[in-house]
Amino acid sequence: MSSASSVTEPAAGQPATPLAAISCDIFCAVIDNFGDIGVCWRLARQLADEHGWQVRVFVDDLHAFQKLCPSLALDRARQTIGAIVVEHWHEPSHAGDTVEVADVVIEAFACELPSIYVAAMAQCERTPVWLNLEYLSAEDWVADFHLRPSPHPRYPLTKTFFFPGLGPGTGGVLKERQLDAARAAFEASPDARQAWWLNATGQPPPPAEVTVISLFAYENLAVDSLLEQWRDSATPVVLLVPEGRISGAIARFFGLPSFAAGSHATLGSLSAHALAFTEQPGYDALLWASDVNFVRGEDSFVRAQWAAKPFIWHIYPQADDAHLPKLDAALAHYARSLPDDTRAALARFWHAWNGAGRPDWTEFQRHYPALKLRAAEWAGELTQVGDLAGNLALFAKTQLK
């Protein structure tokens, strides 16, 4: 791994010297389409850009990664994007052409490090900080397990569990330092909004009376009902749909063979635009340009909270409905200060979008003013938990000896 120019390159199997910038390896196995690499890539860029770390990302699916990072080459075993080294990881035994152990080793979402890499970690003169970055959960138990150590059964190594979360005592969620300023600048600039709309849809921004909705979701049985309600709405609705797993349902509703990027369709009060899949910074602008955001998985769920707009979460479905307690835990945090009727309406809508009932758009609209106020208030509350990258960097520094 490359090191700062003022220090010598660390020997294979050894972490960088204390004078070097902190080196970090992030291992990511892509399971949930873009969610896993989305979180890892955002974390990698933030550790490099804001904390000056030398970051290397091991990822096993370059095709999924390229959707978020178009400059990524699919045929290269090792490449540098910005200041970050990207290794095409052939798990489970692969650890690069030579085993170079970083100061901080992040095992994302229990993906399991290569055995050769773990053995090399055990040989290091200065023990690396080994973190298991877990999936985000708002459940109460997360604070109890955050930073809990797990000694290795054979080596003198300890892995520490690092849990993202929405409440105190957790690792928080990712947020770049300049994000609030960027959002405020976008919202305050008619020129920026105009440019975004023209680039994304080929059309100028709609009038103020139009409800703009972004729709990023897994396949969803409730989507036809919502599309019908938007079609029959008393006020116009503009739907912005990033190309993806929900695109087939949109195409069927409009009677089209497909709904690929650049497509546009109108029925009744509903107009829909299919958007090209965008790199991460572009997705934030989509959230800012919308009045309501439908999001899925982990990364877009977090970005919707920072967008400070009402949102609906399509949580990643698990067997035996194991995901539903996580959905309710997030609602408990997010909706806790809402009036009882608004909180109940939001819960009904979230549950319906996640398979339990029929979403009622008219009811949701009736509570929109309160939901809009709460969205802005919640973004401020979540900031108090701390940024995940900053929390992780601070913890790692206390552990490096």
List helix spans (H) across 87-189: 115-123, 142-145, 179-188
Distance of CA 330 to the CA centre of its chain: 15
Helix, strand, or coil (residue 163): coil
d(CA 349, CA 313): 10
**Strand-pair category, 129-133 with 104-108:** parallel
d(CA 214, CA 327): 20
Q: Which amino acid appears at position 341 of this protein?
A: D
d(CA 120, CA 101): 7
User: How many Cβ atoms sit within 10 Å of the Cβ of residue 17?
Assistant: 15
DSSP secondary-structure letter at 242?
A: E
Q: Which residues are catalytic?
A: 36, 298
DSSP state letters, 8-26: PPPPTT-PPPTTSPPEEEE
**Residue 57, strand partner residues:** 26, 86
